[in-house]
C-alpha cells in the first residue's frame, strides 16, 4: 500500500507553497507574492507522529463561474474549464485535501467557487468513499485574525482551522486533524498480485499512447499529436505468453515551469502515482529531440521509488542512420543517464512497429531480475573475493571490515552488510560492491539497495 497523499488546493496567493515548505520541513517550493508563481508540482514526504505521507503543492486554482469576473491569473484565461476540473481531480487522486484560504482577505468569490466545486463533488458521490477536506485558514498571525477565521464557516466546509504557515502557528493542530482524517480516508483498490504492472512514462508527445496501441494491436486509447492529450492514467490488462500484465499509460510530464495550469497539473500527479504503482517503468525518449533534462528528471523519479526501468528511444524511424548511429546514440543516452547505467536501451518506432515486439519481453525479463534472490553462501563468497581484489580504504587510520552479508528482500533486491562501522563505507566502495554483484548476477534494469549495519558483539 502506497503512502497516503495529501493535496493542497486553493486560489492563488493564499500560501500553499509556504505551507508545503512548512510541512515538508525544507524550502522546496518557490514562494512569491505574485499570484500564479507556482507553475509546477512538487511532491515531498512528510511525517507526523509516526505516519508518513506525501504532500503535493500545486498551482493556484483560478475559478470563475461561467464568465462572471476575471481570472486571478490572466495567463490561465484559456484554461477555465480545466481549472474547474482541477479541484475534482485533487479530490479523486488524493487521500485528503487541504483547502487553503486567506484569513487576511476573508472569504472571496473565488473561495466560494472552490468550496462549491469540492462540496458538489462530495454530494455527487454519496455512499462512496471520498477524501476528507480540511478548511485551512492561513495568515492568522494574531488573535484578531484567528477570531476572524470564523467567517469562513459560510463556505460550508466544516470547522475553519486557523494557522500561520509562515510562522508555524497552529500547524501542529492541523497535522493532528489531518492524521485523524487520513485514518478514515479511502484505500486504493488492491492490485492484482499476479500481474506485472508496467507504467509507460515520458514527456508529452513522445508516443506513449501510440506505443500502448501498438502493443495491444488495436486502438484502445486516444492518440493525438497534441502534447498532453492523455489526461488520465489508463490501466489496460492483457496476457503476454501466459503472463498477466497491467499496462499503465500516463499523461506526459513536462519540464519544471512548463506544466500548464488546470487539469494537466493533476494528470502529472497521476503519472507520479503510476510510477509508484509500477513494477517496471518504460521511459520513452524522443529520438528526434534527443534526451533532455526532463527525461533524466523522470528517470530520477523512478529510481527514487526503486523501480526497474527500460529506456525506449522512440521515433527511431525518423532518424537518418548509418552503421554507427545506434551505438553512438546509445552511448549518449548512457552518458546522460549515468546514474542508471544498468538499464536496457531499446530503439523502437511505435509508428512502424520496429522492435516493439521486444518491449514486453524485455520488461518481463527485467521483472524476473527484480525478483532474483542470491543464496547467502554465494553472496558471501562474492564479497570475500571483492575484498581480496580491492580492500576497503582506511579512514583516520581505521579500515572498514565486512563480516557477513545477506539478501534480505527482493522487489527491489536489498542487501544487508554487517560491518564494524557503517561510517567507514565510502560511496565509491559501495558502488564497487554493487558493481561486483551486478557483474556476477546481472540484475538488469533494476536498482539495488545496499544497507550497512554495525554488527553487535565482538568483532
Q: What is the pLDDT of residues 231-262, one digit of tens each?
A: 455 678 888 888 888 888 775 555 545 544 44
Q: What is the pLDDT of residues 369-398, one digit of tens each?
A: 999 999 999 999 999 999 999 988 888 788
Q: What is the pLDDT of residues 400-435, one digit of tens each?
A: 999 999 999 999 999 999 999 898 988 899 999 999
Long-range contacts of 352-359 (CB under 8 A, 24+ apart): 352/317, 353/214, 354/316, 354/317, 355/316, 356/211, 356/214, 356/215, 359/211, 359/215, 359/282, 359/310, 359/312
Which residues have a Cβ under 8 Å from the Cβ of 279 and sit 6 or more positions away? 196, 197, 198, 307, 308, 367, 370, 411
Q: pTM of this prediction?
A: 0.65
Q: Which runs of E-coded beta strand occur in 226-340?
A: 234-240, 243-249, 280-286, 308-314
Q: What is the CA radius of gyration of the chain?
A: 25
Q: Report, as an integer, the average pLDDT of 90-112.
A: 82
Residue 247 CA to residue 252 CA, distance in Å, equals: 15
C-alpha cell at 38: 507556482
Q: Which element (helix H / strand E) includes 369?
A: helix 359-370
pLDDT over 70 (residue 28)? no
Other Cβ atoms closer than 10 A to 168: 11
Q: Which of 206, 320, 317 is nearest to 255 (CA)?
A: 206
Say what the pLDDT of residue 263 is: 43
C-alpha cell at 312: 525506449
Compute the half-sphere exposure of residue 164: CA atoms within 13 Å on the CB side of its CA.
13
- Confirm if 298 and 272 have CB atoms less than 8 A apart: no
Q: What is the pLDDT of residues 173-209, one digit of tens each?
A: 999 999 988 874 444 444 545 889 999 998 888 888 8
Q: For residue 178, say if its preceding peptide bond is cis, omega within 30 degrees of 0.
A: no
- Confirm if 333 and 302 have CB atoms less than 8 A apart: no
* Domains defined for the chain, CATH in brackets: 5-182 (3.40.50.300), 196-369 (3.40.50.300), 376-454 (3.30.300.20)
| CA distances from residue 107 to 33, 102, 111, 150, 404 in whole angstroms, order as listed | 19, 8, 6, 10, 63
| CA distances from residue 356 to 4, 359, 362, 434 in whole angstroms, order as listed | 36, 5, 10, 31
Residue 347 CA to residue 345 CA, distance in Å, equals: 7
Task: Name residue 404's beta-bridge partners.
Answer: 418
Residue 444 CA to residue 371 CA, distance in Å, equals: 11
pLDDT over 80 (residue 320)? yes
Q: Which SS3 state, helix, strand or coil, does residue 119 take?
A: helix
Say what the pLDDT of residue 342 is: 93
Amino acid at each position: 500500500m502506497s503512502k497516503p497523499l495529501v493535496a493542497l488546493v486553493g486560489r492563488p496567493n493564499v500560501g500553499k507553497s509556504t505551507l508545503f515548505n512548512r510541512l515538508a520541513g525544507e524550502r522546496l517550493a518557490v514562494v512569491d507574492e505574485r499570484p500564479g508563481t507556482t507553475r509546477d508540482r512538487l511532491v515531498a514526504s512528510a511525517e507526523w507522529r509516526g505516519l508518513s505521507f506525501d504532500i503535493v503543492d500545486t498551482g493556484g486554482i483560478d475559478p470563475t463561474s461561467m464568465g462572471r469576473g476575471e481570472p486571478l491569473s490572466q495567463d490561465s484565461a484559456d484554461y477555465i474549464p480545466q481549472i474547474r476540473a482541477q479541484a475534482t481531480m485533487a479530490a479523486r487522486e488524493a487521500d485528503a485535501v487541504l483547502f487553503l484560504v486567506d484569513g487576511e482577505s476573508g472569504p472571496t468569490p473565488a473561495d466560494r467557487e472552490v468550496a462549491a466545486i469540492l462540496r458538489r463533488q462530495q454530494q455527487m458521490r454519496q455512499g462512496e468513499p471520498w477524501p476528507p477536506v480540511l478548511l485551512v485558514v492561513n495568515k492568522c498571525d494574531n488573535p484578531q485574525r484567528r477570531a476572524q477565521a470564523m467567517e469562513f464557516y459560510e463556505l460550508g466546509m466544516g470547522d475553519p482551522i486557523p494557522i500561520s504557515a509562515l510562522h508555524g502557528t497552529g500547524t501542529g493542530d492541523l497535522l493532528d486533524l489531518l492524521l485523524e482524517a487520513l485514518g478514515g480516508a479511502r484505500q486504493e483498490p488492491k492490485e492484482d498480485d499476479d500481474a506485472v504492472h508496467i507504467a509507460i512514462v515520458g514527456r508529452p508527445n513522445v508516443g506513449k499512447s501510440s506505443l500502448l496501441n501498438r502493443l495491444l494491436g488495436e486502438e484502445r486509447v486516444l492518440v493525438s499529436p497534441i502534447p498532453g492529450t492523455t489526461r488520465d492514467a489508463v490501466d489496460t490488462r492483457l496476457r503476454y505468453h501466459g503472463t498477466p500484465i497491467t499496462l499503465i499509460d500516463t499523461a506526459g510530464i513536462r519540464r519544471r515551469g512548463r506544466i500548464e495550469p488546470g487539469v494537466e497539473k493533476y494528470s502529472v500527479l497521476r503519472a507520479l502515482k503510476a510510477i509508484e504503482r509500477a513494477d517496471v517503468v518504460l521511459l520513452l525518449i524522443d529520438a528526434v529531440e534527443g534526451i533532455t533534462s526532463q527525461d533524466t528528471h523522470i528517470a530520477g523519479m523512478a529510481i527514487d521509488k526503486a523501480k526497474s526501468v527500460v529506456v525506449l528511444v522512440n521515433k527511431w524511424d525518423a532518424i537518418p542512420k548509418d552503421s554507427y548511429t545506434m551505438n553512438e546514440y546509445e552511448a549518449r543516452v548512457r552518458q546522460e543517464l549515468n546514474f542508471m547505467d544498468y538499464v536496457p536501451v531499446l530503439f523502437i518506432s511505435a509508428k512502424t512497429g520496429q522492435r516493439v515486439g521486444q518491449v514486453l519481453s524485455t520488461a518481463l525479463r527485467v521483472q524476473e531480475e527484480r525478483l532474483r534472490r542470491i543464496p547467502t553462501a554465494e553472496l558471501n563468497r562474492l564479497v570475500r573475493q571483492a575484498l581480496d581484489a580491492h580492500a576497503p580504504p582506511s579512514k583516520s587510520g581505521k579500515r572498514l571490515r565486512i563480516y557477513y552479508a545477506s539478501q534480505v528482500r527482493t522487489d527491489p533486491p536489498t542487501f544487508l552488510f554487517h560491518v564494524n562501522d557503517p561510517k567507514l563505507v565510502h560511496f565509491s566502495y559501495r558502488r564497487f560492491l554493487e558493481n561486483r554483484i551486478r557483474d556476477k548476477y546481472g540484475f538488469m534494469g533494476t536498482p539495488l539497495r545496499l544497507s550497512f549495519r554495525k554488527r553487535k558483539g565482538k568483532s
